[in-house]
Chain A
Amino acid sequence: MTDPSNAVADRPVPHPARLRSLGWLARRVGGGVFVLWMVATIIFFALRLIPGDPVDAILGGPGSQASAEAVAQIRLDYGLDQPLIVQYVVAMSKLVVADFGTSYALKVDVASYVLAQLWSTLVLTIASLVVAWVLALGVTFMTSGRGRGARGVGSALELLAAAVPHFWLASLLIILLSNMLNWLPPISVPGPLGLVLPVLTLALPLAGFLGQLMRESLANAYEQPFVLSARARGEGEWGVRLRHVLRHAALPGISLSGWAFGSLLSGAVVVETIFARPGLGRTLLSAVTIRDIPVVTAVALLSALTFLVVTVATDIIDRLVDPRVANQ
Chain B
Amino acid sequence: MNAPRILLLPLTLLASAALLTGCTTATEPAAEPVTGGTLVYATGDAEPDCLDPHVGGNYPQALISTQYIESLVSKNADGEIIPWLATEWTPSDDGLTWDFTLRDDVTFTDGTPFDAEAVKTNIEHLKDPATASSTGYLAVGKIQTIEAVEPNLVRFGLSAPDSALLESLSQPWVGIQSPTALERDQAVNCESPVGTGPFVVTEWVKQQSIALERNDNYNSAPADAEHTASARLDAIEWRFIPDAATRFAALQSGDVDVIDNPQPNNIASAESDPAIAELDAPRPGASNRIELNSGKAPFDDERVREAFIRAVDVSPGIDTLFFGSAERSYSVLSSVELDGVALPNTFTVDPDAAKALLDDAGWDTTDADGYRTKDGVRLTLDFPVSTNQSIPAEQSLFEQIQSSAKDVGFEVKLNPTDLSSWYGALFTNEYNLVSAPYTKVGPDVLRTLYHSDSIIPAPSGYYANLAQLSDPTLDQLLTTASETSDVAERAALYKEAQSIIIEGFYVLPLYDQQNHYLYSTSVEGFRALPTVSAPTFYDAWLND
Residues of A that sit less than 8 Å from B by CB: 50-53, 55-56, 58-74, 105-108, 113, 116-117, 165, 167-168, 171-172, 174-175, 178-180, 182, 185-189, 269-270, 272-279, 282-283, 286, 288-291
Q: A59-B134, A187-B239 are in contact. Are A64 and B245 (CB under 8 A)?
A: no
The reply to whether B245 and A53 contact each other, CB–CB distance below 8 Å, is: no
- Give Cα distance in the complex from A58 to B427, angstroms: 17
The segment from B31-39, B46-54, B70-78, B318-326 that touches chain A is B46-54
Please name the residue on chain A nearest to B448 by beta carbon: A65
Within 8 A of A (CB), among B506-534: none
Q: Say yes or no: is B101 at the interface (Cβ < 8 Å to chain A).
A: no
- Cβ-defined partner of B253 (8 Å) among A172, A178, A286: A178
In the complex, what residues of A have CB within 8 A of residue B239's CB? 187, 276
Q: A273 and B242: CB pair below 8 A?
A: yes
- Contact in complex: B388, A289 (CB < 8 Å): yes
Instruction: Say yes or no for B130: interface residue by CB 8 A criterion.
Output: yes
B459→A50 contact, CB < 8 A: no
Across the A-B interface, the 5 shortest Cβ-Cβ residue pairs: A60-B56, A51-B424, A64-B134, A278-B207, A62-B423
What total of A-B pairs shows CB separation below 8 Å? 200
Which stretch (B7-15, B327-335, B373-381, B474-482) binds chain A? B7-15
Residues of A within 8 A of B1 (CB): 167, 269-270, 273
Q: Are A52's CB and B461's CB within 8 A? A: yes
A63 near B462 (CB under 8 angstroms)? Answer: yes
Q: Is the CB of B421 within 8 A of A171?
A: no
Q: Are A187 and B138 in contact (CB under 8 A)?
A: no
Contact A179 B460 (CB under 8 A): no
A179 touching B18 by the CB < 8 A rule? yes
- Residue in B4, B132, B464 whose beta carbon sits within 8 Å of that of A66 in the complex: B132
A-B contact pairs, 13 of them (CB 8 A): A51-B427, A60-B49, A62-B419, A63-B423, A63-B436, A64-B56, A65-B137, A66-B458, A167-B4, A187-B246, A269-B1, A282-B242, A291-B420
Q: Which one, B18, B47, B138, B207, contacts A180 given CB within 8 A?
A: B18
Check A274 against B246 for contact (C-beta < 8 Å): yes
- In the assembled complex, the Cα of A282 lies from the Cα of B47 at a distance in Å of 11
Q: How far is the CA of A37 from the CA of B429 in the complex (A)?
A: 36
CB–CB A55/B129 < 8 A: no
Residues in chain A near residue B132, CB distance under 8 A: 58-60, 66, 70, 73-74
A62 cross-chain contacts in B, Cβ below 8 A: 419-420, 422-423, 460, 462
Q: A56-B423, A65-B460 are in contact. Are A171 and B245 (CB under 8 A)?
A: yes
Distance to closest chain B CB from A255 (angstroms): 30
- Chain A residue nearest to B46 (CB atoms) is A286
Asked whether any CB of chain A lies closer than 8 Å to the CB of B190, the reply is yes
B255 at the interface (CB under 8 A from A): yes
Q: Are A283 and B458 in contact (CB under 8 A)?
A: no
Cβ of B428 under 8 Å from chain A: yes
Q: Which residue of B lies closest to A189 (CB)?
A: B255
Return the chain A residue nearest B15 by Cβ.
A175
Q: With an 8 A cutoff between CB atoms, is B121 at the interface?
A: no
B15 touches A180 (CB 8 A): yes
Contact of B137 among A53, A58, A70, A180 (CB under 8 A): A70
Q: Which residue of A lies closest to B388 (CB)?
A: A289
B241 and A50 form a contact (CB under 8 A): no
Contact partner of B7 (CB less than 8 A), chosen from A70, A168, A186, A290, is: A168
A145 CA to B14 CA in the complex, in Å? 40
Q: Which residues of B contact A107 (CB under 8 A)?
A: 49-50, 186-187, 190
| Minimal Cβ-Cβ distance residue in B for A68 | B459
Give chain A nearest CB distance to B420 CB in angstroms.
5
The answer to whether B461 touches A66, judged by C-beta atoms less than 8 angstroms apart, is no
Are the C-beta atoms of A179 and B134 separated by less than 8 Å? no
A265 to B543, CA, bound (A): 43
Quick one: CB contact mask for B424-435 with A, threshold 8 Å, 1 for yes? 110110000000
Q: Is B208 interfacial (CB-CB < 8 Å)?
A: yes
Asked if A185 and B253 make an inter-chain contact with CB atoms under 8 angstroms apart, the answer reads yes
B403: CB under 8 A from chain A?
A: no
Q: Which residues from B are CB-within-8-Å of A51?
A: 420-421, 423-425, 427-428
Partner of A67, one of B46, B137, B425: B137
Smallest distance from the beta carbon of A3 to chain B beta carbons, Å? 34
Q: Kindly state whether residue B58 has any CB partner on chain A within 8 Å.
A: yes
B492 surroundings in chain A (CB, below 8 A): none
Chain B, Cβ-Cβ closest to A108: B187
Known: A52-B420, A62-B419. 10 other contacts (CB 8 A): A51-B427, A60-B49, A63-B460, A63-B462, A64-B462, A66-B460, A70-B132, A180-B19, A276-B243, A282-B207
Q: A57 → chain B, closest Cβ, in Å? A: 8
B227, CB-defined interface residue at 8 Å: no
Residues of A within 8 A of B252 (CB): 179
> 8 Å CB contacts to A: which residues of B383-438?
388, 418-425, 427-428, 436
Q: Does B296 contact A (CB under 8 A)?
A: no
Chain B residues in 8 Å Cβ range of A53: 460-461
Contact assessment for B459 and A171 in the assembled complex, using a CB-CB cutoff below 8 Å: no
Closest to A56 in B: B460
> How distant is the Cα of A185 from the Cα of B14 in the complex, in angstroms?
19
Contact yes or no, B134 A186, CB < 8 A:
no
Determine the chain A residues whose CB is within 8 A of the CB of B243 once the complex forms: 273-276
Q: What residue of chain B has the Cβ atom nearest to residue A269's Cβ?
A: B1
Determine whether B122 belongs to the interface, using a CB cutoff of 8 Å to chain A: no
Bound-state CA distance A279–B246 (Å) is: 17
B184 at the interface (CB under 8 A from A): no
Residues 188 to 222 of chain B near chain A (Cβ within 8 Å): 190, 205-208
Q: Chain A: which residue is nearest B130 at the CB level?
A: A73
Closest chain A residue to B430, Cβ basis: A51
Which residue of chain A is the closest to B5 with respect to CB atoms? A167
B242 — nearest CB in chain A belongs to which residue?
A273
Is A72 within 8 A of B246, CB to CB? no
**What's the Cα separation between A59 and B418 when bound, in Å?**
18
Known: A178-B249, A278-B205. A65 touches B462 (CB 8 A): yes
Given contacts A167-B5, A187-B250, contact A59 B460 (CB under 8 A): yes
**Bound CA–CA A189/B256 (angstroms):** 12
Nearest residue (CB) in A for B131 is A70
Residue of B nearest to A273 (CB): B242
Residues of B97-148 whose CB lies within 8 A of A: 129-135, 137-138
Q: Which residues of B contact A174 (CB under 8 A)?
A: 245-246, 249
Which residues of A lie under 8 Å from residue B423 when comparing CB positions?
Answer: 51-52, 56, 62-63
Which residues does chain B contribute within 8 Å of A185, judged by CB atoms?
Answer: 250, 253, 255
Q: Is B240 an interface residue (CB 8 A)?
A: yes
Q: Are A67 and B249 in contact (CB under 8 A)?
A: no
* Contact present for A52 and B424 (CB under 8 Å): yes
B541 vs chain A, min Cβ distance (A): 24
Q: Specify the chain B residue showing the minimal Cβ separation from A53.
A: B461
Alpha-carbon separation in the docked complex, A62 to B460 (Å): 8
Q: Which residue of B lies closest to A188 (CB)?
A: B208
Instruction: Tell me, yes or no, whether B57 is within 8 Å of chain A by CB.
Output: yes
Residue of B nearest to A288 (CB): B418
A106 near B49: Cβ-Cβ < 8 Å: yes
The reply to whether A179 and B55 contact each other, CB–CB distance below 8 Å, is: no
Compute how far the CA of A45 lies from the CA of B336 in the bound complex, rounded to whole angstroms: 45
B387 to chain A, nearest CB (A): 9
Contact B462 A172 (CB under 8 A): no
A108 CA to B464 CA in the complex, in Å?
30
Q: How far is the CB of A155 from chain B (nearest CB, A)?
A: 26
Q: Is the CB of B419 within 8 A of A186?
A: no
Q: Which of A186, A188, A189, A269 has the largest count of B CB atoms less than 10 A from its CB?
A: A186
Contact A289 B49 (CB under 8 A): no
**Complex CA distance for A72 and B460, rounded to whole angstroms:** 10
Residue with the highest number of chain B CB atoms closer than 10 Å, among A63, A66, A273 = A63
Bound form: Cα–Cα A107–B131 in Å: 12
**CA A278 to CA B425, docked complex, whole Å:** 31
Q: Closest chain B residue to A105 by CB distance?
A: B49
